[in-house]
Each structure stands twice: as C-alpha cells, then as structure tokens.
C-alpha cells in the first residue's frame, strides 16, 4: 500500500520537468514589477513563464473548470483585501490542496485576507502593524530605525538552501510569524536573531512580546500532505532590487558585511518551493524471504526476511541516487517490533534484513522518513505473519524423552503383567 502522497510526488516531479512552467504573479502594487525585477528575471532565467497580474484584476482566473491554468503562484499582495476574478481565499487553498506550489510574501500590514490564508496554511502572522524590531543588532541605515535586521539563522538543510552556500546575512524588514510547536509540516527557513522581537513600532513595550528569543520566523516553508510546497515570507523588501544589490552594510554591534545574501537566498528558496530540489522518489519497494526474489503474501514467525527500496532525489531536473544513512524501516503490529537502519549501495538502493518476530499478526513495513527540506516519505506495506503449521514444530523434543520413556515402559510393563497374569498360574 503506497500512500497517495507518493503518487502525487511523482506527478509533481514529472510536471517539474516540463519545459516552461507557468507562474502567476499577483501584485497589489504594479511598481513591484520594477522594484523587484531582479528576482523575477532570475526566475525567468530558470525557465519559468511569468504572468504578472494585478491582485484585483477582474479577469483574474486561476482555474478553468477542473484545470489549473498555472502551476505556480507568487503573491506579492500584502494589502489585497480581495482578489479579483474567480480567486477567493478558498481558491488559493484549493490550489495548494491540489499539490501546486506557492510563494506568499507579506509585509508589516497584511490584510485580513492574507492573514487568514496564511493561517490556513499553518503559519501564524504577528498582529497587523507589528514590526520585527531589534534594538541590539539592527542594521544601521538612514530611514529604517531599528527594524531593518540582518539574520543568519538559516535552517540546516542543503535541500532548501541549495547553492546559497556563502550564508551571507539576509536583510529583512517586515512582520514576523510563528509556527505551532505541534506542526509537523511547517519549518522555519529563516529565523530571527535572539535579540529581535515583534512589536508595534513606536509603542512602549509593557509586556513580554510573544514572539521573541529567536522563536520568530521570518521565512517559513510548509510542505502540505498534498505534496504542495508553500513559502511564506514576512517582508516584501527582502525580495527587492535594493536589497539584492546593496553594496555593504554595518550592524549596530559593529559587524561589517560586504553584501547581503538576499538574491541567492530568495532564488534558492523559490527553487525549493517550486520542487526543484529536495524531492524524493521511492520505487521498487519489495520484501522477500532471505535469499529469494519473489514477494510472498505472508511470512511465518521467526522467518528471515529482506526488505529493500530505491530512493532517488531530484537534482537539476534528473533523478539521482539518494544517499543517506538515516533511513529506517519499522516492522509494526500496533507497536514497532523491529526498527532497522537501511544500508544503501550508492546506487539509491536501500536494504536491510531481519528476523520476523515470534508474534503472529498482520504487520506493516513502515517507512516514515521526514528530513527538513525533503519530501516526507510515509509508506506502509501490509503483510501477514502466521504461526507455525501443525507439522512445522520439531517432531521429537529432547526435553520430552522422559515422557517417551514412560510411555514405552508402561506399555512394556502392561504387556509383561498381562503375560504373567494369564499364563503363570
């Protein structure tokens, strides 16, 4: 039994390889097209067809009957209170639930529409009007006060950050978000420095801000169970040409940087969101008796079995063998009876061998592999484990020799007794 997520992944992966994918960019301010032109040109150079539309365009159409007109969606419309055309809040969520990717960018004044949309994806934005502020380590600049921040709190995942290897600090000015500690889908791609906190600018801080101490999330990523990836960023400026090309800056603590990492970061994160990296594919899941090929319907208790599967990773549009030492398989009946590490052979084939536990029942091979930035693998395959047949037990037990002896001695004694009793009068 392979979960539908997996099938969706394959389909998503296949669509990635199609030549030109259509990206719809929704803007609430037409100027963004020019102020953020570098970001969009980077995307175009990656081979995307970009369609700019105003968020309030009356002819806006995302879906034609059951067919999505665009594969990807980028929203730079923090203040949009309403989308034009056929797009409502539900349409966006439907878009995501159908497995399509989106990048949603807001700023410190997100509309209620944007806030609730983002909340339904699993990211909670700070209240309207708040700004992420850092009185200790802000970036010195003429106009931004203490709210321009340089963050280096990156997620430890090459799958997300890709070629953004120099890890230069990211300039950020906008609203912070937070992810529920119970969320299993959302991750913080870019966090805030420990000294940053979220508050209404210009107001006295009279109670502890909730989002502080590094809990604030600046850029969040969500991998929905439909396979869709959504990136939510709290700053529109972060993607702007101005930050992309900033020649150098200095923070309040005196650190000087020659450039900001925004351009590479934004590009790579968008690549991740658009399924260009960190996509895993499972094929050839099989199990069999040790040393055999065919896959049986059932095992007997204490049988030896081998289990294997192929995992490939999408890199630059082609599937390459996945290499990791942390993939595990569990053999579960209510509880995991066996949990084994899978070895791989550098060709993407992962395998292990173990003994079936001495408990019969319906078991599942379970692969539950969730690594930040990679598509989560959640597979289960059912197999029955049956007890010994009546003729599979040992025929003669050493422990039972006294009983065999007693049986035969009694028989012999009875025979002798009968003989003596009958003929020895």
Partner 1 sequence: MAFSLRLFSVVKYESVIHEFDPYFNFRVTIYLTKEGFYNLWNWFDDITWYPLGRVVGGTVYPGLIWTAGVMFKVLHALNVPINVQEVCVFTAPLFSAFCSLAAYLLVKEIRGRGAGLTAAAFMAMVPSYISRSVAGSFDNEGVAIFALVFVFFLYVKALNTGSLAWSSAAALAYLYMVASWGGYSFIINLLPIHCLASIFTGRLTAKLYIAYAPLIVLGTLEAASIPVVGFNAVLMSEHFGAFFAFGILHAALAIRYIKDILPVKAYNAAKTLVLTSGVVLMSGILLLVLFYVMSSPTFGWTGRSLSLLDPTYASKYIPIIASVSEHQPPAWPSYFTDLQAASILMPAGLIALFWPLTPASLFLILYACTAVYFSGVMVRLMLVLAPAACCLAGVALHEALAALFKGVHAEQREQESRPPKEDAKAKKPSSKPAKASFWSNLPGFSETGRPIPRDAALTRGGDGSIHIFDDFREGYAWLRYNTPEDAVVASWWDYGYQTTAMANRTVLVDNNTWNNTHIATVGRAMASPEKQAWEIYRALDVTHVLVIFGGFIGYPSDDINKFLWMVRIGGGVFPDIKEKDFLGEGGYRVDNKAGKALLDCLMYKLSYYRYAEASLMTTGQMGFDRVRNVQIGKMDVTLEYFEEVFTSEHWMVRIYKVLDRPARDIKLPNPRSTRGKPRKSSLS
The residues of the shown chain that bind partner 1, judged by CB under 8 A, are 1, 4, 93, 96-97, 112, 115-116, 119-122, 124-128, 178-186, 206-207, 210-211, 215, 222, 224-226, 228, 298, 333-334, 360-364, 380, 382, 384-387, 389-390
CB of 39 within 8 A of CB of 239? yes
Minimum gap (Å) between residue 376 Cβ and partner 1: 12
Query: Could you tell me the sign of the dihedral formed by the alpha carbons of 274, 276, 280, 283, in that order?
Result: positive
Nearer Cβ to partner 1 (141/183): 183
To the nearest whole angstrom, how small is the minimum distance from the Cβ of residue 186 to partner 1?
7
User: Closest CB to partner 1 among 263 and 381?
Assistant: 381
**Residue (256 or 389) nearer to partner 1, CB:** 389
At how many degrees (to 10) do helices 262-273 and 37-45 cross? Answer: 50
Least distance CB 273 / partner 1 (angstroms): 15
Nearer to partner 1 (CB atom), residue 185 or residue 252: 185
Chain centroid offset of residue 144 CA: 35
Residue 192 or 260: which CB sits closer to partner 1?
Answer: 192
Residue number with CB closer to partner 1 (38 or 383):
383
Between CA 25 and CA 68 the distance in angstroms is: 15
| Min separation Cβ 57 and partner 1, Å | 26
- The residues near 303 (Cβ < 8 Å, ≥ 6 apart) are 289, 290, 355, 356, 385
The crossing angle, in degrees rounded to 10, of helices 89-97 and 112-121 is 20
Q: Which is nearer to partner 1, 317 or 387 (CB)?
A: 387
Taking the complex as a whole, the smallest distance from the CB of residue 391 to partner 1 amounts, in Å, to 8
CB of 226 to partner 1, least distance (A): 4
- Cα–Cα–Cα angle for 165, 321, 375, rounded to 5 degrees: 65
Q: Please name the helix (run of DSSP H) or strand (run of DSSP E) that holds residue 112, with its range, or none.
A: helix 112-121
**In terms of Cα–Cα distance, which of 334, 372, 366 is closest to 183?**
372
**Shortest approach of partner 1 to residue 143 CB, angstroms?**
27
- Give least dist CB 255 to partner 1, A: 28
Q: Three-class SS string for 7-46? A: HHHHHHHHHHHCCCEEEEEEECCCCHHHHCHHHHHHHHHC
* CA dihedral of 134, 139, 145, 148, whole degrees rounded to 10: -70
Q: Which is nearer to partner 1, 298 or 417 (CB)?
A: 298
Three-state DSSP state, 235: coil
């Amino acid at each position: 039994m392979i979960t539908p997520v997996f099938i969706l992944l394959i389909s998503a992966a296949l669509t990635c390889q199609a030549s030109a994918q259509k990206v719809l960019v929704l803007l609430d301010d037409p100027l963004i097209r020019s102020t953020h032109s570098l970001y969009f040109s980077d995307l175009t150079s990656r081979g995307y067809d970009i369609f700019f539309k105003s968020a309030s365009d009356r002819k806006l159409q995302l879906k034609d009957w059951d067919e999505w007109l665009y594969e990807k969606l980028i929203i730079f419309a923090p203040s949009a209170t309403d989308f034009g055309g056929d797009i409502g809040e539900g349409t966006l969520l439907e878009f995501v639930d159908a497995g399509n990717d989106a990048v949603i960018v807001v700023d410190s004044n997100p509309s209620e529409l944007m806030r609730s949309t983002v909340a339904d994806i699993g990211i909670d934005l700070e209240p309207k009007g708040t700004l992420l502020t850092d009185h200790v380590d802000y970036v010195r600049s003429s106009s931004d006060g203490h709210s321009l921040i340089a963050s280096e709190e990156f997620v430890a995942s090459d799958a997300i950050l890709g070629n953004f290897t120099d890890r230069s600090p990211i300039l950020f000015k906008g609203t912070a978000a937070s992810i529920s500690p119970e969320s299993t889908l959302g991750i913080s791609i870019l966090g805030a420095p420990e000294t940053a906190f979220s508050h209404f600018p210009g107001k006295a801080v009279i109670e502890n801000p909730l989002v502080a101490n590094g809990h604030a999330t600046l850029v969040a990523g969500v991998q929905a169970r439909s396979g869709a990836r959504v990136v939510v960023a709290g700053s529109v400026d972060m993607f702007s040409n101005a930050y992309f090309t900033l020649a150098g800056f200095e923070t309040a603590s005196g650190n000087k940087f020659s450039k900001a990492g925004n351009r590479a970061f934004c590009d790579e994160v968008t690549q991740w969101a658009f399924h260009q990296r960190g996509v895993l594919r499972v094929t050839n899941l099989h199990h069999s008796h040790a040393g055999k090929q065919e896959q049986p319907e059932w095992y007997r208790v204490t049988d030896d079995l081998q289990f294997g599967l192929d995992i490939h990773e999408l890199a630059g549009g082609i599937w390459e063998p996945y290499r990791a030492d942390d993939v595990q398989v569990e053999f579960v009946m209510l509880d995991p009876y066996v949990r084994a590490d899978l070895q791989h052979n550098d060709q993407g084939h992962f395998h292990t061998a173990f003994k079936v536990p001495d408990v019969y029942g319906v078991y599942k091979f379970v692969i539950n592999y969730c690594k930040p930035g990679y598509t989560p693998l959640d597979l289960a395959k059912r197999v029955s484990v049956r007890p010994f047949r009546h003729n599979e037990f040992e025929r003669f037990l050493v422990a039972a020799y006294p009983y065999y002896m007693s049986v035969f001695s009694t028989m012999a004694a009875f025979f002798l007794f009968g003989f003596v009793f009958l003929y020895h009068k």
